[in-house]
Each structure stands twice: as structure tokens, then as C-alpha cells.
């Protein structure tokens, strides 16, 4: 399985700026399905910053959040940028295994804050657990099924999900 974990992905200053913008200034919207339509495992809040398929253009106020991540990762063609926020649960809840898009692509999952939530790569096979650690980037092949797992310790779990080619 092809994946890479990069700790301390951005400088401390860049990460703290992005963290503050995401956690305290970005409005989020309720989503009743996490992984795919019909996934009733839990709910979450998100903001689709950019989505090529629905012709949603990125709001210039979000450039300062996204540009450092894209630049550091060398990503030139993202087709979806999304902020995810999971709320604290009394026990870990595993979302349905899924892929973000059916076409071949790559995923960058950037953790905004540290908590005991995590992402599972290849849950029906190798079952690799990636912890949610602030300023950590995880790159993986977008054809690998994965699932988000809610946290039980912190009030929120924030990450930025970038799908690209």
C-alpha cells in the first residue's frame, strides 16, 4: 500500500496561522453523511473550499489557508479542497469505508489539531491506523479505501482534505 506520513509539514508559524483561520474564522456546514450517501455512522461539519465538479470556486479569503499547503506539497491540480470537522463522541465511531472519488487520484489529509481520532487506510485489508497529529500531512493513493474515526478526547477534530491528480 502506498502512503506517506509527513510530520511538521509546515513551519510552526504557517501551521498556527492556518489553525486559527480554520478553527476560529471559517464557517462550517452540517453534513448528515460522512463517507457517502446513506452513511449513517455519524455526522460532521465541513466547508467545501473548492470543488471542480460543482463549479465551486475558492473564495479569495481562503487562499491564505490553502496556498501554503499546496505550495509545500507541490500540488498543481487539486480538484477538491475541503475542511472537515468532527465533534467529540463518547466512543470512537468509524465511518463507512470509502474513496473520495472514483477516478485515479491522490489524497493529502492535513491535520489541524491533535486528538485521539484517526484515519484508517485499507480497512478491509492492511488496516493502517494514521493518528490525528497537528501539522501532519498524510499522502495516499485515492483508490485506497479509508475511513474517518471520531475522537473521544478533544471537542473537535479538524483536517483539510485535498484531492488532486
Q: How far apart are the first and last CA of the chain?
A: 18
> Which tens digits make up the pLDDT trace of 44-95?
889 988 887 777 677 888 899 999 999 999 999 899 999 999 999 999 999 9
Residues 110 and 9: beta-carbon distance below 8 Å: yes
Residues 17 and 53: beta-carbon distance below 8 Å: no
Report all structural domains of the chain as residue ranges with CATH numbers, in order of start. 3-164 (2.60.120.620)
Residues 50 and 135: beta-carbon distance below 8 Å: no
> Which tens digits make up the pLDDT trace of 13-36?
999 999 999 999 999 998 887 766
pTM of the model: 0.93
> Which tens digits make up the pLDDT trace of 105-129?
999 999 999 999 999 999 999 999 9
Residue 41: pLDDT band (50, 70, 90) is confident
Amino acid at each position: 500500500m502506498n502512503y506517506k506520513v509527513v510530520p511538521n509539514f509546515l513551519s510552526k508559524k504557517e501551521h498556527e496561522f492556518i489553525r486559527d483561520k480554520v478553527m476560529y474564522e471559517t464557517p462550517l456546514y452540517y453534513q448528515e453523511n460522512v463517507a457517502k450517501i446513506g452513511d449513517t455512522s455519524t455526522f460532521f461539519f465541513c466547508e467545501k473550499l473548492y470543488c471542480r465538479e460543482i463549479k465551486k470556486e475558492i473564495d479569495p479569503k481562503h487562499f491564505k489557508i490553502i496556498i501554503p499547503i499546496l505550495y509545500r506539497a507541490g500540488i498543481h491540480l487539486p480538484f477538491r479542497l475541503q475542511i472537515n470537522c468532527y465533534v467529540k463522541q463518547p466512543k470512537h465511531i468509524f465511518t463507512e469505508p470509502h474513496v473520495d472519488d472514483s477516478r485515479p487520484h491522490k489524497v493529502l489529509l492535513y491535520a489541524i489539531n491533535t486528538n485521539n481520532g484517526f484515519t484508517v487506510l485499507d480497512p478491509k485489508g492492511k488496516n493502517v491506523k494514521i493518528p490525528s497529529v497537528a501539522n501532519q500531512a498524510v499522502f495516499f493513493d485515492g483508490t485506497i479505501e479509508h475511513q474517518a474515526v471520531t475522537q473521544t478526547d478533544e471537542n473537535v477534530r479538524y483536517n483539510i482534505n485535498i484531492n488532486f491528480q
